[in-house]
Amino acid sequence: MAKGVSVTRHAYRVPDNEAPFFNFAKDRQMPPSDESYVRTVLDKVQDRAEAARMLAASATVSLLQGKDAPAAGRRLNQAFLIDAQQSLVYHGYAILVSEHFHDHKFADELMRVAARMNSPDPSLIADHGSVLLDLDRPTEARLLLERAAKANPNSGRVRANLALAVYLTGDRTRACHLLADVTDQDVVGHERDLELLRRRVKC
């Protein structure tokens, strides 16, 4: 673990190198193929912080676009070993445990750690808000999503999540106003979720 960082131990029924922090195994070693990949990355990107961020970003793409959780877990653990001070490592772990393992409570913990680490990604606040919605904590989610919407007013995903948080905290009128400008093109891949949200809010 990075200096000054402490998280709750969580283990998942997958190979250790595919779970956050290698499933907290004592022997945190990568398979030879992963070690070779990391050496290749460090040969090309000698700044360890930049290399770790690059791997963590690649993991997020693997998970959210490719739906490849094992690859995402391996990349995040590689990034963790390269530079455990980078926010994107913990941010990526949080997305992994939320999206793949459905462990939203641990995801919340990891998002909070990510906010304290080096170079937080602008998407962190919005992603944390989404996790809080999954935990049925709409008041907390709304505070974060309001900030995310101000920082990125053109994001349909953020506006949709904010609309849900606003609705759950008792303001249906504003929720409908937020949803009015969200189109299917704004939430490609989640059009069904948007339709269900509109029905739920009754806009």
The domain segmentation of the chain, as residue ranges, is 7-118, 122-203
Residue range 46-91, pLDDT digits in tens: 899 999 999 999 999 888 888 899 999 999 999 998 999 999 999 9
Domain 122-203: CATH superfamily is Tetratricopeptide repeat domain (1.25.40.10)
Residue range 104-115, pLDDT digits in tens: 999 999 999 999
Q: Is 75 exposed, middle or buried (0-12, 13-18, 19+ CB in 10 A)?
A: buried
**Is pLDDT at 29 greater than 70 in this prediction?**
no
Residue range 120-154, pLDDT digits in tens: 999 999 999 999 999 999 999 999 999 999 999 88
Mean pLDDT in residue range 172-191? 88
Q: What is the pLDDT of residue 136?
A: 97
Q: What are phi and psi of 22, to 5 degrees?
A: 55, 35
Distance CA 84, CA 89 (A): 7
- Residue tagged 């690059």 (tokens): 54
Q: Which long-range contacts (CB under 8 A, 24 or more apart) does 187-191 make?
A: 187/156, 187/157, 187/160, 190/157, 190/160
